């Protein structure tokens, strides 16, 4: 997984169009993940971070408008654009009222789509700022407020750095699953090297200290592979 490219989520149930757009955008240098339903999209946004979501409007399980609302409820900072055959003004206005950053009508001109994506990504916040702008996460008995970079535990509040916040979000999104050194380093630092790995270890030590008040939480080191945020179920 090459995390140094812009990461785009394409949600398109038309197999022919989905394959065409997926291959074309990959050819243009984007890190493209294609899913074929709204339910698949809702699952993957909890396990990966994206710079932009491209949503088909007319899908059988969840239409694009409803999917966009669910995405906003679960991940408020993820920008999205619509692909649709609907050309009525009311549909376009509906898309923008939900919060779309663009609205592309079918049939799609691939070059125009790339130009619009590049223009959007140039003005949208980078991925690490998106995670910082996102709302809150419950981590055991802690609450992480990413907008203010504050970690709350009962009456105690800990101010995190932007790097600590980004790292904790990644671990939380993959709780009880391995986060590889490479994926973490390239996502946050943009480069997987010896010096950044040393920095990562320092930040992990900080987070372990911050989370030490909850015995149900543990950041485990998997030798030469990565880290796992272990979250035990509390009855």
CATH code for the domain of 16: 3.40.50.2300
The CATH number covering residue 200 comes to 1.10.10.10
Token digits of residue 52: 């932009």
Q: What are 34-87's pLDDT values in tens digits?
A: 999 999 998 888 767 788 899 998 888 888 889 988 887 765 567 889 988 766
For residue 27, give its domain range: 7-124
| Whole-number pLDDT of residue 87 | 65
Q: Are 141 and 211 in contact (CB under 8 A)?
A: no
Say yes or no to pLDDT of 174 above 70. Answer: yes
Number of domains, the chain: 2
Among 205, 176, 171, 209, smallest CA distance to 188 is for: 171
- % the chain with pLDDT above 70: 89
DSSP string, 112-176: HHHHHHHHHHHHSPPHHHHHHHS-EEEETTEEEETTTTEEEETTEEEEPPHHHHHHHHHHHHTTT
> Do 46 and 137 fall into the same domain?
no
24 and 81 together in one domain? yes
Residues 6+ apart with CB under 8 A from 137: 143, 144, 146, 168, 169, 172
| CA-based R_g, the chain, Å | 19
Q: Which of 124, 154, 169 is the last residue of a domain?
A: 124
Which of the listed ranges 86-90, 140-144, 198-202 does the model predict with the highest average pLDDT? 140-144
């Amino acid at each position: 997984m090459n995390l140094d490219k812009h990461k785009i989520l394409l949600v398109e149930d038309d197999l022919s169009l989905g394959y065409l757009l997926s291959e074309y955008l990959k050819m243009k240098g984007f890190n493209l993940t294609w899913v074929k339903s709204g339910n698949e999209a809702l699952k993957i946004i909890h396990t990966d971070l994206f710079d932009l979501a491209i949503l088909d409007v007319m899908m059988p399980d969840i239409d694009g408008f409803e999917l966009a609302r669910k995405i906003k409820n679960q991940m408020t900072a993820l920008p999205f654009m619509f692909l649709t055959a609907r050309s009525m003004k009311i549909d376009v206005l509906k898309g923008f009222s939900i919060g779309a950053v663009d609205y592309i009508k079918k049939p799609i001109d691939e070059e125009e789509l790339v130009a619009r994506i590049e223009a959007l990504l140039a003005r949208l916040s980078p991925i690490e700022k998106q995670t910082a702008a996102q709302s809150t996460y419950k981590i055991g008995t802690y609450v992480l407020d990413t907008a203010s970079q504050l970690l709350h535990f009962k009456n105690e509040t800990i101010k995190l750095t932007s790097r600590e916040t980004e790292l904790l979000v990644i671990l939380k999104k993959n709780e009880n699953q391995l986060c590889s050194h490479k994926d973490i380093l390239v996502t946050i630092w943009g480069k997987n090297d010896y010096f950044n790995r040393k920095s990562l270890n320092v930040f992990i030590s900080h987070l372990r200290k911050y989370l030490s008040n909850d015995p149900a939480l543990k950041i485990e080191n998997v030798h030469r592979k990565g880290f796992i945020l272990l979250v035990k179920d509390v009855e």
